[in-house]
């Protein structure tokens, strides 16, 4: 079970970078604003990860991995809610 959770978390990082732009291009109005909400979390996480990478930290991707996991989950839930409505 832990291995499955780890694989889903790691897969959520590239999935986020595909889902986020796709939803922003397809949706409009309030749905687009709702889809922009994860950017509040992921943009600072990306900037911090890049700073940590250039500073030589070996744990630099962790903040981005966790932020992308949470953001991917939010976008999938948002997509599901929109689909049901």
For 19-60, write each residue's pLDDT tens digit.
Answer: 999 999 999 999 999 999 999 999 999 999 999 999 999 999
pLDDT(1) > 80 = no
Query: Is 67:45 a contact under the CB 8 Å cutoff?
Result: yes
Annotate 33-78 with DSSP letters as a single string: HHHHTTHHHHHHHHHHHHHHHHHT-TTTTHHHHHHHHHHHHHHHHH
Two tokens at 31?
């749905």
pLDDT in tens, 61-71: 999 999 999 99
Q: Domains of the chain: which residue ranges?
A: 2-84
User: Is the pLDDT score of 85 beyond 90?
Assistant: no
């Amino acid at each position: 079970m832990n291995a499955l959770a780890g694989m889903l978390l790691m897969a959520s990082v590239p999935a986020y970078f595909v889902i986020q732009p796709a939803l922003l291009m397809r949706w409009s109005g309030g749905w687009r604003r709702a889809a922009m909400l994860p950017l509040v979390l992921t943009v600072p996480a990306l900037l911090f990860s890049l700073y940590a990478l250039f500073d030589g930290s070996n744990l630099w991707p962790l903040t981005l991995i966790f932020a992308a996991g949470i953001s991917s989950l939010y976008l999938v839930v948002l997509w599901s809610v929109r689909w049901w409505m």
